[in-house]
Amino acid sequence: MLRTKVISFASFVGLVSATPLIYDGRAPFNYTSEDLNNSLDPYLSAVKGSNNASFYTQFLGHSHAPTPLWMPGIQEQAMTISIDNSSVFVPGGSQPQYGFRRTDLIAQKDSNHTALDAIADVGTTVFHVSIQEDSAKPLNMSHEYQIVWIEPNDGSHIFEIQLGSPFTIPTGTVPVSDARSLKVRNHALTLLFETPFTSNDWHNFAIQVDWTNRTLGVFYSTNATPLAAVTGLEDNSAAQLGVAAQGDYHFGVLKLPLVNLNDTAAQQSDVVHFGIQEGDAEALNYSGVFIESITGGVSSASGTTIAPIS
Ligand SMILES: *[C@@H]1O[C@H](CO)[C@@H](O)[C@H](O)[C@H]1NC(C)=O
Ligand SMILES: *[C@@H]1O[C@H](CO)[C@@H](O)[C@H](O)[C@H]1NC(C)=O
Ligand SMILES: *[C@@H]1O[C@H](CO)[C@@H](O)[C@H](O)[C@H]1NC(C)=O
Ligand SMILES: *[C@@H]1O[C@H](CO)[C@@H](O)[C@H](O)[C@H]1NC(C)=O
Ligand SMILES: *[C@@H]1O[C@H](CO)[C@@H](O)[C@H](O)[C@H]1NC(C)=O
Ligand SMILES: *[C@@H]1O[C@H](CO)[C@@H](O)[C@H](O)[C@H]1NC(C)=O
Ligand SMILES: *[C@@H]1O[C@H](CO)[C@@H](O)[C@H](O)[C@H]1NC(C)=O
Ligand SMILES: *[C@@H]1O[C@H](CO)[C@@H](O)[C@H](O)[C@H]1NC(C)=O
Ligand SMILES: *[C@@H]1O[C@H](CO)[C@@H](O)[C@H](O)[C@H]1NC(C)=O
Instruction: Tell me the per-residue pLDDT of 81-117, one tens digit each, with 9 for 90 and over.
Output: 999 999 999 999 999 999 999 999 999 999 999 999 9
Tell me the average pLDDT of the chain. Answer: 94
Residue 17: the pLDDT is 52
Question: What pLDDT does 10 receive?
Answer: 34
If phi > 0 it is left, if psi is from -120 to 50 it is alpha, else beta; for residue 221 that is beta
Which of 108, 112, 116, 248 gets mutated to test ligand 5 (max ligand atoms within 8 A of its CB)?
A: 112
Contacts of 92 (CB under 8 A, 6+ apart): none
The full set of domain ranges for the chain reads 17-306
Q: How far apart are CA 276 and CA 86, in angstroms?
A: 14
pLDDT at 5: 35
Which residues of the chain are modeled with pLDDT < 50? Answer: 1-16
So what's the pLDDT on residue 295?
Answer: 94
Alpha-carbon distance 300 to 203, whole Å?
Answer: 13
> What pLDDT, in 10s, does the model give residues 29-64?
999 999 999 999 999 999 999 999 999 999 999 999
Distance 228 CA to ligand 2 centre (A): 40
Name the closest ligand to CA 35. Answer: 1
Q: Is 278 in the pocket of ligand 6 (CB under 6 A)?
A: yes
Under DSSP, the state recorded for 173 is: S
Q: Mapping DSSP to helix (H, G, I), strand (E, B) and coil, where does residue 38 land?
A: coil
pTM of structure: 0.93
Sheet hosting strand 191-196, strand order edge to edge: 43-44, 101-107, 247-255, 144-152, 159-164, 181-186, 191-196
Residue whose CA lies nearest to ligand 7 atom number 13: 200
Residue nearest to atom 13 of ligand 6 (CA): 140
Q: What is the CATH class of 17-306?
A: mainly beta
At 19 the pLDDT is: 83
Establish whether the linkage from the previous residue to 170 is cis, with ω within 30° of 0: yes
* Dihedral angle of Cα 194, 198, 201, 202, to the nearest 10 degrees: 30
